[in-house]
Amino acid sequence: MGYGFNAGEVFKVAIQIEENGRKFYEESQKNIESAEVRSLFAELARQEIGHKKKFETLMAQLPPESTASTVWDPQDEIDQYVKMMADGHIFVSSAGVQEQLARIRDAADALKLAMEFEKDSVLFFLGVEEAMGAKKDQELIRSLVKEEYEHLRRLTLELRKLSKK
């Protein structure tokens, strides 16, 4: 069965992913000795807060047709489907954040895990973009992808610097 998602449904999941990303970046700083990586993670945590606020603002500004159901869905199956897609994201739940934090042994582990998080975010948004019906909604989702690409770029550069030490 094919679903046509609207931007409102996607933004709900995006907001949760950003909140959990913030938690990861803040909590993981406790397990990292590298001052550079701690500083980067503190900045990324602040940016996740900004992203969440941006997504909340964008969601509040969506036109009614971007939040209206695209199909008749009396049993909220679309909401369940969006949640199922998001469950594949490593930070979709607070429990997932705690599980991942337990895996961190050093700064390289934290950077690699953060890169997984950002990649998952990009893949989630790209996958949902394909499922969305309206071109305007697809453009809104593309703006989310750009934000996550920038985080991934910065994390990759920091891991390279760390590997050279």
Nearest to 32 by CA among 125, 101, 116: 101
Predicted TM-score of the model (pTM): 0.77
> Position of tokens 């961190």?
104
Does a structural domain hold residue 65? Answer: yes
Does a structural domain hold residue 2? Answer: no
| Whether residue 153 has pLDDT greater than 90 | yes
Range of the domain at 15: 7-164
pLDDT at position 68? 62
Are 54 and 11 in contact by the 8 Å Cβ rule? The answer is no
Residue 5 pairs with which residues in a beta bridge? Answer: 132
Instruction: Locate 131 and state its tokens.
Output: 């499922």
Domain total in the chain: 1
Name the most confidently modeled range: 63-67, 99-103, 114-118. 114-118
pLDDT-based confidence at 8, cuts 50/70/90? confident
| Whether residue 65 has pLDDT greater than 90 | no
Output the domain CATH number for residue 26.
1.20.1260.10
pLDDT at position 2? 46
Nearest to 124 by CA among 83, 67, 153: 83
Are 101 and 24 in contact by the 8 Å Cβ rule? The answer is yes
pLDDT-based confidence at 99, cuts 50/70/90? confident
Measured CA to CA, the distance from residue 76 to residue 47 in angstroms comes to: 32
Q: What is the mean pLDDT of the chain?
A: 80
Does a structural domain hold residue 59? Answer: yes
| Whether residue 71 has pLDDT greater than 60 | no
Does a structural domain hold residue 78? Answer: yes
Does a structural domain hold residue 30? Answer: yes
Measured CA to CA, the distance from residue 104 to residue 38 in angstroms comes to: 13
